[in-house]
C-alpha cells in the first residue's frame, strides 16, 4: 500500500484565519528506520473541539503532537489510518487503526507498548504529552468497532468520553447540592452528550432536578426539539432564569461575557463553575472579579487517568460502553454526516467551523485524498 502524496493542511499558530496546504515530499517505505511504521491517513472528524485544540495550542501543547515549520501548526484530529509500510515486527501492513492524527495524508509513528488491542506512539517528542492521545487502536480487535459506524466513532467517541467523565464527576459530587445544572454551548456534541447522560441517570440518582441549556438564539429550536434538556434559552435570555435557584455551571463556550453574566446573575447561588470548552474561541477572556465560586478547569485526559487509577481501566471502559450504546443510538437519529473530500473543500470546512457556520446537527468527516 503506498500513498503518492503527503498533502498537509496547516494553520498559522498566531492567526487561525490564515491557513495553507503544503505538498510535502511523501514519506517512502525506505525512509523508515527499524521499529517505525508509516500510516496512510484516511478520514477524520472535525468539530469545534479541533478549533479549541488550535486556539489553546500553546497553553495545552496541542501543537507538539505533530510539529510543523514556523509559523504553521498541524491541528490534531481523530480518525482512521492504515499501515502503509512497516519496519516493526508486530505491526503488519494493511492493519487499520483509530487514533489521534494530523490533518495530512501520512504519519510516521514508532509503536511501543504493543498489545492485542493496539500500540502507543513512543516517539520522543510525544512522550511528555497526555498518554491517551498517543494510543492507536487496532480496529480488528476493538469489540466496539463497526465498519459502518466509523463516522460516528470519529465524531463522537472523543467527545462523549468527556461527557461521560463529566457525568461521573457531577455524580460523585452530588451535583454540588444544586437543583439545576446549566450547560453553555448546549448545542455542542459534548454538551449534548453530558445532558443525555445526566438525564438518562437522574431517575436513579434523583438529581439534578433541572437541566438548562444556554445556546445561540439561532440554535434554540434545534436544541429544544432534541428533548435532552428541561429548559432551553438563548444567551440573550440568561437573566430570565431564577437567580435564587442553586445552580452549577458547565461551560463549553468559554465566552468571557457569558460567564461573567452567569456569575453575576447567580452569585453565591452558583455552587460550582466548571470550565470545559472554548467553542466561542474568539470571545475568551474578559471575565474579571467574578462573584461566586472560582471557575475550575476540567481536563478530560487528566480526569481519565485519575478515574482509571481508582476504578481500573477495564471497569471504566465497561461503564462507558454501557452509556455509549444508547447515546449513539439517540444521536444517530438526528445527526447528518457530511463527507468532505480534497484539500480545497477541507479548507472550506475548516473556515466554516472556525466561523461557527456549521449547524449543530451536522457531523463533518474530512479526507485530504483528492
Ligand X SMILES: NC(=O)c1ccc[n+]([C@@H]2O[C@H](COP(=O)([O-])OP(=O)(O)OC[C@H]3O[C@@H](n4cnc5c(N)ncnc54)[C@H](OP(=O)(O)O)[C@@H]3O)[C@@H](O)[C@H]2O)c1
Interface with ligand X (CB under 6 A): 47-49, 52, 159, 162, 185-190, 215-216, 219, 252-253, 276-280, 298-300, 355-356, 360
Is the CB of 57 or the CB of 360 nearer to ligand X? 360
Q: Quote the strand ranges of 139-279, DSSP E.
A: 180-183, 210-215, 231-234, 247-251, 270-275
Distance CA 61, CA 72 (A): 14
Element (H, E) at 321: helix 313-332
The number of C-alpha atoms within 13 Å of 291 and in the hemisphere containing its C-beta is 10
The number of C-alpha atoms within 13 Å of 292 and in the hemisphere containing its C-beta is 25
Q: How far is the CB of 259 from ligand X (least distance, A)?
A: 12
Is the CB of 86 or the CB of 185 nearer to ligand X? 185
Q: How far is the CB of 239 from ligand X (least distance, A)?
A: 17
**Please, are residues 252 and 271 in contact by the beta-carbon 8 Å criterion?**
no
Q: How far is the CB of 40 from ligand X (least distance, A)?
A: 25
Is the CB of 40 or the CB of 364 nearer to ligand X? 364
- To which residue does cell 520522543 refer? 124
Q: How far is the CB of 108 from ligand X (least distance, A)?
A: 27
Is the CB of 28 or the CB of 199 nearer to ligand X? 199
Is the CB of 72 or the CB of 164 nearer to ligand X? 164
Whether the upstream peptide bond of residue 71 has omega within 30° of 0, thus cis, is yes
Is the CB of 83 or the CB of 300 nearer to ligand X? 300
Is the CB of 109 or the CB of 316 nearer to ligand X? 316
Those residues with Cβ within 8 angstroms of residue 97's Cβ, 6 or more apart along the chain or in another chain: 39, 80, 81, 82, 83, 118, 136, 137, 138, 139
Distance CA 166, CA 108 (A): 33
Is the CB of 110 or the CB of 168 nearer to ligand X? 168
Q: How far is the CB of 198 from ligand X (least distance, A)?
A: 16
Q: How far is the CB of 282 from ligand X (least distance, A)?
A: 7
Q: How far is the CB of 92 from ligand X (least distance, A)?
A: 33
Q: How far is the CB of 48 from ligand X (least distance, A)?
A: 3
Those residues with Cβ within 8 angstroms of residue 119's Cβ, 6 or more apart along the chain or in another chain: 91, 109, 111, 112, 113, 135, 136
Is the CB of 16 or the CB of 84 nearer to ligand X? 16
Q: What is the DSSP string of 138-152?
A: EGGG-TT--GGGHHH
Distance CA 250, CA 224 (A): 18
Distance CA 255, CA 287 (A): 9
Q: In what side-by-side order are the strands of the sheet with 6-12?
A: 15-24, 6-12, 72-73
Q: How far is the CB of 69 from ligand X (least distance, A)?
A: 26
- The DSSP bridge pattern shows strands 118-121 and 231-234 to be unpaired
Distance CA 339, CA 346 (A): 10
Amino acid at each position: 500500500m503506498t500513498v503518492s502524496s503527503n498533502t498537509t493542511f496547516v494553520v498559522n499558530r498566531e492567526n487561525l484565519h490564515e491557513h495553507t496546504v503544503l505538498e510535502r515530499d511523501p514519506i517512502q517505505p525506505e525512509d523508515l528506520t527499524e521499529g517505525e511504521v508509516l500510516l496512510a491517513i484516511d478520514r477524520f472528524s472535525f468539530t469545534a473541539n479541533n478549533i479549541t485544540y488550535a486556539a489553546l495550542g500553546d497553553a495545552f501543547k496541542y501543537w507538539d503532537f505533530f510539529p510543523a515549520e514556523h509559523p504553521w501548526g498541524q491541528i490534531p484530529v481523530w480518525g482512521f489510518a492504515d499501515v502503509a509500510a512497516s519496519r516493526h515486527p508486530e505491526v503488519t501492513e494493511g492493519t487499520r487503526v483509530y487514533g489521534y492524527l494530523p490533518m495530512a495524508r501520512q504519519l510516521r509513528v514508532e509503536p511501543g507498548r504493543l498489545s492485542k488491542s493496539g500500540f502507543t506512539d513512543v516517539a520522543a517528542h510525544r512522550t511528555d504529552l497526555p498518554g491517551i492521545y498517543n494510543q492507536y487502536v487496532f480496529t480488528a480487535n476493538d469489540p466496539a468497532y463497526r465498519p459502518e459506524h466509523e463516522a460516528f466513532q470519529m465524531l463522537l467517541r472523543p467527545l462523549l468520553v468527556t461527557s461521560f467523565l463529566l457525568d461521573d464527576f457531577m455524580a460523585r459530587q452530588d451535583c454540588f447540592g444544586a437543583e439545576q445544572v446549566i450547560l453553555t454551548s448546549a448545542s455542542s456534541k459534548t454538551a449534548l452528550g453530558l445532558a443525555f447522560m445526566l438525564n438518562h441517570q437522574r431517575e436513579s440518582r434523583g438529581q439534578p432536578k433541572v437541566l438548562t441549556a444556554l445556546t445561540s438564539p439561532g440554535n434554540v429550536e434545534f436544541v429544544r426539539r432534541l428533548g435532552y434538556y428541561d429548559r432551553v434559552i438563548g444567551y440573550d435570555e440568561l437573566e430570565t432564569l431564577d437567580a435564587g435557584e442553586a445552580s452549577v455551571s458547565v461551560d463549553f463556550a468559554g465566552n468571557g461575557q457569558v460567564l461573567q453574566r452567569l456569575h453575576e446573575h447567580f452569585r453565591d447561588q452558583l455552587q460550582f463553575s466548571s470550565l470545559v470548552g472554548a467553542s466561542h474561541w474568539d470571545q475568551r477572556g474578559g471575565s474579571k472579579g467574578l462573584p461566586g465560586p472560582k471557575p475550575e478547569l476540567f481536563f478530560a485526559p487528566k480526569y481519565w487517568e485519575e478515574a482509571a487509577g481508582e476504578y481500573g481501566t477495564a471497569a471504566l471502559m465497561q461503564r462507558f460502553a454501557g452509556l455509549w450504546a444508547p447515546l449513539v443510538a439517540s444521536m444517530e437519529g438526528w445527526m447528518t454526516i457530511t463527507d468532505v473530500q480534497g484539500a480545497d473543500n477541507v479548507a472550506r470546512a475548516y473556515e466554516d467551523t472556525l466561523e461557527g457556520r456549521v449547524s449543530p446537527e451536522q457531523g463533518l468527516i474530512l479526507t485530504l485524498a483528492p
